[in-house]
Structure 1
């Protein structure tokens, strides 16, 4: 959730208006005028800000601070200089200095909506939810502010973090009212309705989401699978599951679907938090055992730092068991959980150089069976990324 909040913190270089104000000062001899173009200084400062934030993104904090300091020398009263410094201080863990930078920026222009929004996002990350809400609402109230929908979505995400689910729903409704085709707002509302067990409403927002976006995501397909599963519509749920595996075969969600049919998503965690909030914050202590892949990374060594910084989960094919091993493993998991056996199909994702013959040989399966299971017709042209079933889908469905 907070990844979304992070992306909103941006310096709007393209929308800044620079006043071409020219002032005249005099040199040491008091006779030679020195012309200083404030607009030029602002432009230089903005360039330095862009460089500084670029270095900060790459992790070079020393060069980032150096460029921001140069920007400040050229334009000490430019609001964007101080908001950029605030972002720098937050990144290096100096929250108090970040607050000072934001407050200084607002002392220069208390009606700068971008600064108010960014300050609110920062305060939310510091878990100062009431103060965050106040700053973002101030930004929304400014008539010239155009990113109202994004700010309402920020408020909703912040309220979700604070476990204020009803307020989050209100702010999402406002975000969608201001931007009816916002895929991110529709997805967050779909996620919230699922958490509140309003599956029919979640399905409605799913259809609106699909209509508004031309690109699916693994997260959205996984959530769609769960929405229809909760309603007992297994046929449509399976269609979404197949789309997930075919379109995003290497995603964390696809691997979860193959392993345990998406037993637990991020939206399920949100649902637990919602139920806990209804029970006055009492936490559920009894949980079912289930095998869940880590969304961060498969350990490279015992001492590896399991962080999500740029690391990808291991590919399916690199750990693909035999059909027999997979079925036995799934049956064992089902017995441990006292659940009915759910068998997911083993798959092979087509890579460069693959053919039906090489795939069949690799998995010790007859070519004719591969053709039949995957309904392939001549000519047999495989594309990189295609997903081939390595077992009969009909047999798997009987479980």
Structure 2
């Protein structure tokens, strides 16, 4: 499994040199200048080879990298570039040989250790990968220490070691406090481990630095959703649909499939890892103690409605029944800021609510209402509401105006 889901791995750390200006060799520098020119020419070929790889032209990439090898066979950068090429064509033996050759040629070239370690982590060879990445960090003069610590974090995450991943990300940010990928990965880990306040602070730092992207906005939305910060949710949703309408994140949100987002998947991995640790054989008690479950606990599994008691909250009820707050709001047609009343009945499944409540086809706007308020009240995505009514976010609405709450293309006009 490659280091992907939400976290991208820093694999290639090869400096791409500018083109070399040709110089005339004089008698005074005849013994030194040709070798220097060949090294710089080789680096130029490496840069060309990498550029061809990035646009998918592997044959031209290999041609230029072979030329670089002919020009400077003792240059570790060339072997690093060849290893990267072999990764793209999935030649494992050639990858390993190239990286080993690079480290043999220049034992203090930290890039070789970092790249090889990242590659081995992708291959599931975690222990050797960690050794190589730590070796890169120890190399004198290495200025990509933050990269290698982040790679260590990603490698720990591949093993579901969330504590170690958090530790290595912290070290990455210690060496580069404004590193966007490490900040984003930290925020994602905070969300996965339910440290929401830390996630908010990290995301706010990124937003102040204008480090916005579709994944950042979706993560902001999901964090705000758990905290019941409805204005933040709405802002993140509007930015996501406005700036990245074709992104996978926008599609997941519009289709209400947030359980498939990379952040939800990461949280499920975290929960599974903690549950597995809690019941590991080494920690199980030798004597089983059987505790009879109460009738209330047993009935929670099949209960379909809940009567609100004094001082109960949506969050507490959702946790009690193992459902999400957004589902409770949707199933009961609540406003996000609506207070619960003692004695009020809440539906605990969408099917029961669907049987009892029919969403009106149209809604007549009241004085002072906005489209955003209506979308929240009826739990309809604002983007859908705008689309169904041929409106934009800037379109004015007036009291008495009718707007569709369902797709007009599928309305039953006989009812």
* Shared fold, TM over 0.5: yes
Residue 116 of structure 2 corresponds to 119
The correspondence for 2:258, drawn from 257, 262, 280, is 262
Q: Where do 1:14-163 residues align within 5 Å?
A: 14=17, 37-163=34-160
In the TM superposition, what is the alpha-carbon distance from 1:55 to its structure 2 partner?
2.4
In structure 2, the partner of 1:301 is none
Q: Which residue does the alignment assign to 1:274?
A: 270
What is aligned with 1:197?
Answer: 194
1:89 and 1:95 in contact (8 A); partners too: yes
Distance in 1 separating the partners of 2:352 and 2:156: 34
The question of whether the paired residues in 2 share the 8 Å contact of 1:153 and 1:185 is answered with yes
Q: Which position in structure 1 is the counterpart of 2:332?
A: none
Q: Which has the larger radius of gyration?
A: 2
What secondary structure does 1:280 align onto?
Answer: helix
Structure 2 vs 1, CA of residues 230 and 69 (structure 1 numbering), >3 Å: closer, same or farther?
same
Q: How far apart, CA to CA, are the structure 2 residues paired with 1:202 and 1:98?
A: 38
CA distance in 2, matches of 1:392, 1:337: 20
How big is the shift at 1:259? 2.5
Q: Distance in 1 between matches of 2:116 and 2:141?
A: 18
Matched, 1:372 2:397: yes
In the alignment, is the contact (CA less than 8 A) between 1:261 and 1:344 conserved in 2? no
- 2:185 corresponds in structure 1 to 188
- 8 A contact 1:152–1:171 mirrored in 2: yes
Question: Does the 8 Å CA contact 1:346/1:391 hold for their aligned counterparts?
Answer: no
- Where in structure 2 are the equivalents of 1:305-320 lying within 5 Å? none
Q: Deviations over 1:92-118 (max 9, x none)?
A: 111111101100110011110111111
* Distance of aligned partners of 1:34 and 1:188 in 2 relative to their CA distance in 1, 3 Å threshold: closer
Conserved in 2, the CA contact under 8 Å of 1:258 and 1:345? no
d(CA) in 2 for partners of 1:206, 1:391: 35
The answer to whether the 8 Å contact 2:252/2:261 transfers is no
Residue 79 of structure 1 deviates from its aligned partner by 0.7
Contact 1:48–1:70 at 8 Å: present in 2 too? yes
- Change in CA separation of 1:137 and 1:121 when aligned onto 2, cut-off 3 Å: same
Q: Any conservation in 2 of the 1:149–1:174 contact (CA below 8 Å)?
A: yes
Cα shift at 1:147:
1.2
Counterpart residue number, 2:239: 243
Select 1:219's aligned residue among 215, 218, 223: 215
1:11 Cα offset (Å): 1.2
How far residue 168 of structure 1 moved from its aligned partner, in angstroms, is 0.3
Distance 1:153 1:365, change over 3 A: closer
Q: Please tell me whether the aligned partners of residues 206 and 212 of structure 2 are also in contact (alpha carbons under 8 angstroms).
A: no
2:4 counterpart residue number? 2
Contact 1:52/1:64 (CA < 8 Å) preserved in 2?
yes
Structure 2 SS opposite 1:63: helix
CA distance in 1, matches of 2:32, 2:254: 69
Q: Distance in 2 between matches of 1:338 and 1:119?
A: 55
How far does residue 8 in structure 1 lie from its aligned partner after superposition? 3.9
Give the whole-Å Cα distance in 1 for the aligned partners of 2:227 and 2:161: 26
> Secondary structure of the residue that 2:74 maps to in structure 1?
coil
Question: Relative to 1, partners in 2 of residues 1:157 and 1:365: Cα closer, same or farther, differing over 3 Å?
Answer: closer
Aligned residues: 301
Match of 1:382 in 2: none
Structure 2 CA distance, aligned partners of 1:366 and 1:172?
A: 44
The 2-side partners of 1:337 and 1:220 are apart by: 35
The structure-2 alpha-carbon separation of the partners of 1:135 and 1:338, relative to structure 1 and needing over 3 Å to count, comes to farther
Question: CA offset at residue 231 of structure 1?
Answer: 1.7
Taking only aligned residues, the RMSD between alpha carbons, in angstroms, comes to 3.6
- Decide which of 164, 169, 173 is 2:166's aligned counterpart: 169
Distance 1:40 1:7, change over 3 A: same
In structure 2, distance between residues paired with 1:345 and 1:364 = 11
CA distance in 2, matches of 1:366, 1:171: 47
Q: How far did residue 53 of structure 1 move?
A: 2.0
Runs of at least 5 residues in structure 1 that lack an aligned partner in the other structure: 25-32, 284-333, 350-358, 374-389, 394-399
Using the size of structure 1 for normalisation, the TM-score is 0.67
Q: Whole-Å Cα distance in 2 between the matches of residues 236 and 179 of structure 1?
A: 28
Unpaired segments ≥5 residues, structure 2 = 280-348, 358-377, 407-415
Distance 1:5 1:198 in 2: 22
**CA–CA separation in structure 2 for the residues paired with 1:247 and 1:237:** 15
